[in-house]
Structure 1
Amino acid sequence: MNNSPTFVIVGAGLAGAKAAQTLREEGFDGRVILLGEEPERPYERPPLSKGLLLGTTPRSDVYVHDAGWYDAHNVELRTETRVTAIDRTARHVVLDDGEQIGYDKLLLTTGSTPRRLDVPGADLDNVLYLRTLAQSDRIAEALTDKSRLVVIGAGWIGLEIAAAARKHGATVTVVDVAELPLQRVLGDEVARIFADLHRSHGVTFRFGAGVRELHGSGRVSSVLLTDGTELPADTVVVGVGIQPDTQLAEAAGLKVDNGIVTDAQLLTSDPHIYAAGDVANAYHPLLHRHIRVEHWANALNGGPAAARAMLGQQVEYARLPYFFSDQYDLGMEYSGWAAPDGYDQVVFRGDPSVADGEAPEFMAFWVSEGRVLAGMNANVWDVTDHIQALVRAGHAGTAVDLAKLADPQVPLGDLLG
C-alpha cells in the first residue's frame, strides 16, 4: 500500500510548473500531479506579446522545462485536462471526464482570463485576445505590412502588441476610455512618455472614447466608437484587462475577493489548499495589505514559495511586485507598489523626453512624503536592487532626500546612508 502523500497542482502555467520543480528540488518524494487545460506543456507568457510577435524569440524558448523534464522528475503532467470541482471534505478534485483525484495538499495556480468585450459584433472573426500560445500565433499571422489593426485597451499588453505591429508595418490605432495609456498604473507624468513614444513610431491614439460596436460580415471590418468615429480594421485585438480565474475556488467555498484570498504563506481559507500567481490575492507583510499581482515575476517566485509552504516550511512571501516591458527601443523595469491615489509626486532622474523618435534613459520614482513607494528604470540597467532597497525602506517609513534622488551624480546606493 502506497502511503506517500499526493500533491495536486491545478493550473499548468509558470507558477504551477515552478511549484512542481521546487517540490522535487526540496526532496518531496510523494506523488505530484500537474493539471492544465491547454494542449501545451507549461510555458512563460511574456514572449507572447514580445519576442514571439516580433519574431525574435524561438518558440522552443518559451517553455518552462524541456519536454522530457516531467517524466524524468516523476511529475504527472496532464494537459488538455479541466478540473470541474473541488471536494474539500473528501479532499479530491473532479476532472471533466468524471475522474476523481485525491490530494493531501492542493495548489491552485489557475491564473486569469482576459476580460471580454461586451458589445455588438464582438464575436466576429479576427476579434482576438491574447493569453495563450495559440492566440499569440493567431495575432502574429495578422501583423502584416499595411494591415489595419485596432487595439482596444492601452495597457501593457495593448501597447506591446501595438509596438510589434508597427515593427511589421501594420497601421495601428489604440483606443482607450482613459486620457493616456497606462494612466491608472503609472499616473499622468509617466503615461505621457509612453504616449509620446508610440506616437513617434506612428501609432494613432483615440483617447476618451469607448467602443460602441464592431461591424463586419462574418469578419470584422470596422470599429465604431462611442464618439461616432468609425475606424477601419482588418484585425481587432482586445486588451481591456484580465480577471482572476476563481470559479473553482468560489464553487468550493474558499474565500474569494479579487482573487483567492491567502495569507503571507499563500495558504487559503482551507488548511489544505494554497494559491499562487495571478489568481492569488495574498497578504503582503511589508505593504500591510492584500495585493494581487498579474505579472511574470509573481508566478515565477510565488509558485516555489507555495510549494515550500506545502512542505511545512516557514514561508513569508514578501517579494516586491516587479514587472518589465519592451516597446520599440525602450526597455523598462518597475518595482514596488504605488496605488493611483497613494503618492504625492513623481521624481525623475534623467530626462524622460522622447526626442527624434528615440526612447529616453531615465528613472522615475513614485513618492509619498519623501518615501519611495515604487521605481521604474527605463533603458538604465543594473539598478533594480538599489531601487528595490529604496522601495522597501520607503514602505517601512524611511524618507530620502528628493534632490539627491533626482541627481544622477548621486549613486542610488548612497541615498539610504
Structure 2
Amino acid sequence: MNAGRVVIVGASVAGSRVASGLRRAGHTGLIALVDPDPDAPYDRPPLSKQILTGEWTPDRASLGDPTQWQAERHVTSAAGVDPVNRTLRLDSGLELPYDKLVLACGAVPRALPGTPRRGVYPLRTLADSLRLRARLDGMAPSGRLVVAGGGFIGAEVASAARARGIGVTIVEALPAPLSGLLGEEVAAELAGLHTDNGVRLLCGTSVVGVTGGPDVTGVELADGTTLRADAVVAGVGVRPATDWLAASGLPLDGDGGVLCDEFCAVDAGRTVYAVGDVARCRDPRLGRHVRVEHWTDAVEQADVAVHNILEPRPVAHRHEYFVWSDQYGGKVALLGRPEPGAEVTVVRAGGPRRRFAVAYHRGPRLCAALTVNWPKALLAARRSTGTPDGAEAAVTAWKSL
C-alpha cells in the first residue's frame, strides 16, 4: 500500500502516531517527520505529572524511535507550505515535496506580560519540564512558587510543588479555576482540592508583570498586589503553532487553528490533514468547528488521518471529549463536554479526602460527567453515556457506590 510521500509536521503524539500508524497499515512510501524539538517524539501528559515529580526518567515518556517507522527525521522548523506545488519549506532551506501533508504542529504557550526573567517557566517541552523540576528541587522545602493559571496544567504543577513542601499560590483570572468549562458551582467545589492541600488560591485577578532581574523575585497582579516568588510558572494557555502558515492560503480561524472537515481534511482534494492541538475539526453533532487540546482527541484524529490517507472511503472523527488530571495523589476526570445551560447534579462520597461526581444533563440525557478521586464513579458514567436515561442511571449508580 503506497500513498506516496507523506510529510508530517510535528512529532508529538499526533504526528508520531500518524507515522507509526501508516507503517502498521502497510504504507511503503516515504514518511518524513519535521519537528524542531531534538527530544521528540515523546508523550506530553507526563511532563506535568511523572516527569515533573521525578517518578519517571525521561525515556519512559518516549513514543518510539522514528527509525522504527522508517521515517526521515528533520530536526528543524517548518517555514512555509506551497499547497499548489505540494512542497514544504524548512527553516534549513530544504524543500520537501509531498503527496500528503499532515499538520500536527501543536501549540505554543502564551507568555506572561513583561520582560522575561530567569525563573519564569512555560511547560510545553521535555526540556521545560526538566528545567522546572531542577528549579523546584533547588527551592524545596521553603521556596515560593506562583502559578499563573489554574487549569489542569497549573493544578498539576501546584500538586508537584506541594509534594516537595514548597509554598504555592495559584493566580486565576476566572471566579474559580476552570469555571468557564465546568460552571462556577462545580469549579468552586473542585477548587477545594487546592485549599485542602495548602495551596493559596487568588481568583478574579491576573498576572500583569514580573519583578526582579535577572532572576524573578515576584509577580504584579491586576488588583495591585505584588506576590513574592522564587519561581513562576506560566499556565495561561496555548495558541496553535501556525504563524508559519499565514501566507499558505490554508484556512485558519482567528486564533490560528487549522480548519478541517470531520475527516480531518483541510482541502477538498484531501492532500492536507490537520490533527491534534492545531486542528479545528468540524463536529457534525454540534454543527460547528471545534478545537480540542486533549490527548485523546489527538490520538483519535491521528488514527482517522491514517485511514483517510490510505483508504478511498473516508471515516469521520468523533469527538469523545475525555481528559484526566493527576492532582494531589488523586485523579480528576472529565467525560464529555459540559453544555452551557445544562442541569447539574452533584453526588458526594464519604471518606477522608474530597471525592465527588457531577452529572451535566438535559433532562435524562447525560451531556458530561466529572469525577474526582472516584474511579468507580467514572466507570459508571462511561456505562451510562449514550443511553436514553444516562443521567438518571449515572446518578443512581453513584449513590449506590
Q: Distance in 1 between matches of 2:201 and 2:357?
A: 25
- Please point out which of 109, 115, 119 is paired with 1:126: 119
Q: One-letter code of the match for 2:82?
A: D
Q: One-letter code of the match for 1:316?
A: A
Q: One-letter code of the match for 2:181?
A: V
Q: Does 1:164 align with 2:157?
A: no
Question: Which 5+ residue runs of structure 1 have no aligned equivalent?
Answer: 413-417
Q: One-letter code of the match for 2:208?
A: R
Q: CA deviation at 1:359?
A: 3.1
Deviates more, 1:242-251 or 1:177-186: 242-251
Alpha-carbon distance change, 331 to 98 in structure 1, aligned in 2, over 3 angstroms: same
Q: How does 1:100-249 map to 2 (within 5 A)?
A: 100-118=95-113, 120-121=114-115, 123-143=116-136, 144-249=140-245
- Please point out which of 364, 369, 378 is paired with 1:370: 364
Find the residue that maps to 1:251 and give its secondary structure: coil
Q: In the alignment, what sits opposite 1:262?
A: 260
Q: Distance in 2 between matches of 1:242 and 1:207?
A: 20
- Please point out which of 335, 342, 348 is paired with 1:350: 348
Q: Distance in 1 between matches of 2:398 and 2:154?
A: 36
Q: In the alignment, what sits opposite 2:18?
A: 19
Q: CA deviation at 1:409?
A: 6.5
Q: In the alignment, what sits opposite 1:338?
A: 338
Deviates more, 1:205-214 or 1:153-162: 205-214
Q: CA deviation at 1:274?
A: 0.3
Q: Distance in 1 between matches of 2:368 and 2:245?
A: 31
Q: CA deviation at 1:235?
A: 0.4
Q: CA deviation at 1:278?
A: 0.5
Q: In the alignment, what sits opposite 1:54?
A: 53
Find the residue that maps to 2:161 and give its secondary structure: helix
Deviations 1:135-188 (A, max 9, x none): 111111121211110111111111110010000111101111212111112112
**Is the CA contact 2:346–2:359 (under 8 Å) kept in the aligned structure 1?**
yes
Q: In the alignment, what sits opposite 1:415?
A: none
Q: One-letter code of the match for 1:299?
A: A
Deviations 1:75-125 (A, max 9, x none): 11222x11101011111101112111100000000111111112x33x111
Q: CA deviation at 1:337?
A: 1.4
**Is the CA contact 1:332–1:376 (under 8 Å) kept in the aligned structure 2?**
yes
Q: In the alignment, what sits opposite 1:93?
A: 88
Q: Distance in 2 between matches of 1:27 and 1:61?
A: 27
**Is the CA contact 1:320–1:388 (under 8 Å) kept in the aligned structure 2?**
no
Could you say what the CA RMSD is over the residues aligned between the two structures, in angstroms?
2.2
Q: Distance in 1 between matches of 2:50 and 2:330?
A: 14
Q: CA deviation at 1:411?
A: 7.9
Find the residue that maps to 1:267 and give its secondary structure: coil
Q: Distance in 1 between matches of 2:304 and 2:110?
A: 28
Alpha-carbon distance change, 386 to 319 in structure 1, aligned in 2, over 3 angstroms: farther
Q: Distance in 2 between matches of 1:71 and 1:226?
A: 50
Q: Distance in 2 between matches of 1:64 and 1:270?
A: 31
Alpha-carbon distance change, 392 to 244 in structure 1, aligned in 2, over 3 angstroms: farther
Q: Distance in 1 between matches of 2:321 and 2:3?
A: 36
TM-score (norm 2): 0.92
**Is the CA contact 2:10–2:105 (under 8 Å) kept in the aligned structure 1?**
yes
TM-score (norm 1): 0.88
Q: Distance in 2 between matches of 1:234 and 1:410?
A: 45
**Is the CA contact 1:107–1:273 (under 8 Å) kept in the aligned structure 2?**
yes
Q: CA deviation at 1:250?
A: 3.1
Alpha-carbon distance change, 385 to 292 in structure 1, aligned in 2, over 3 angstroms: farther
Deviations 1:9-66 (A, max 9, x none): 011111000001110111111111111110113111001111111122222110111x
Q: Distance in 2 between matches of 1:346 and 1:4?
A: 48
Q: CA deviation at 1:319?
A: 3.8
Q: CA deviation at 1:328?
A: 0.7
Q: Distance in 2 between matches of 1:288 and 1:199?
A: 39
Q: How does 1:73-92 map to 2 (within 5 A)?
A: 73-79=69-75, 81-92=76-87
Q: Distance in 1 between matches of 2:267 and 2:26?
A: 27
Q: Distance in 2 between matches of 1:383 and 1:320?
A: 18
**Is the CA contact 2:3–2:309 (under 8 Å) kept in the aligned structure 1?**
no
**Is the CA contact 2:347–2:398 (under 8 Å) kept in the aligned structure 1?**
no
**Is the CA contact 1:254–1:270 (under 8 Å) kept in the aligned structure 2?**
no
Q: Distance in 2 between matches of 1:253 and 1:247?
A: 12
**Is the CA contact 1:286–1:392 (under 8 Å) kept in the aligned structure 2?**
no
